[in-house]
Amino acid sequence: MPELEAHPLLSEQQVNDKIVELACEIASSFPEGEPVTVIGLLRGCFIFMADLVRELHRKGVIIGEVDFLIASSYGGGTSSSGNVKIERDVKHDIAGKHVLLVDDILDTGATLQKVIELFKSRNPATLKSCVLLEKPARLEVDIKSDFVGFTIPNKFVVGCGLDYDQRYRELPYIGIMKEDD
């Protein structure tokens, strides 16, 4: 079982400050006074999204529905299968709504691409996406998230909802898994 590197890649303070910044950008990009439906990609989004919706509230954004989707592109460990499957769809109709998709990390981009394609076909009034992290070195498809917290090196990271085989999601900072020798 690989271990966690002792020094965090991003501290709790850096993550918290970034969420405040992101909420400012997001708040000013949606029409004032109209509710925003926030949809998270489970399970990695759960901590980031919880922090983000509270910060959006502080910036005056009305949160409409909160919903979740499960899409899988990873098996266990740190390698990608590249195969995206929607395992659980949202329960709400998003037609005519202002929608913000929230994910933990943009890696190959396959998951977000698939979900955006699916959601566009449901005719939302607005569709924007926000990720806490992006790893440009791994990107395989032509996709960009509208809001990105941090651009990180090609390392497998954990914390703030991200896991290694279901461990470390609860870390309040972003840590790096040591690579196997």
CA dist., res. 30 & res. 126, Å (int)? 8
- Tell whether omega for the bond before 167 is within 30 degrees of 0, i.e. cis: no
Instruction: Give the sign of the dihedral formed by CA 33, CA 143, CA 86, CA 102.
Output: negative
Nearer to ligand XMP, 46 or 156 (CB): 156
Q: How far is the CB of 67 from ligand XMP (least distance, A)?
A: 17
User: Which residues, in sequence order, are CB contacts of 90 under 8 Å at separation 6+?
Assistant: 39, 67, 68, 69
Return phi, psi of residue 10, to 5°.
Answer: -135, 125
CA dist., res. 136 & res. 23, Å (int)? 22
Q: How far is the CB of 112 from ligand XMP (least distance, A)?
A: 6
173 binding ligand XMP? (CB under 6 A): no
51 binding ligand XMP? (CB under 6 A): no
**Interacting residues with ligand XMP between 64 and 103 (CB under 6 A):** 73-74, 80, 103
For the beta carbon of residue 26, count every other beta carbon within 10 angstroms. Answer: 22
Residue from 49, 102, 130, 158 binding ligand XMP (CB under 6 A): 158
156 binding ligand XMP? (CB under 6 A): yes
Binding residue count for ligand XMP, defined by CB under 6 A:
19
Nearer to ligand XMP, 41 or 69 (CB): 41
DSSP per position, 21-80:
HHHHHHHHHS-TTS-EEEEEEETTTHHHHHHHHHHHHHTTPPEEEEEEEEEEEE-STT-E
The single residue of 107, 163, 165, 181 carrying the catalytic annotation is 107
**Interacting residues with ligand XMP between 105 and 144 (CB under 6 A):** 105-111
Q: How far is the CB of 121 from ligand XMP (least distance, A)?
A: 19
Whether residue 103 lies in the annotated active site = no
- Chain contacts with ligand XMP (rule: CB under 6 A): 41, 44, 73-74, 80, 103-111, 156-158, 162-163
Residues with catalytic function: 107
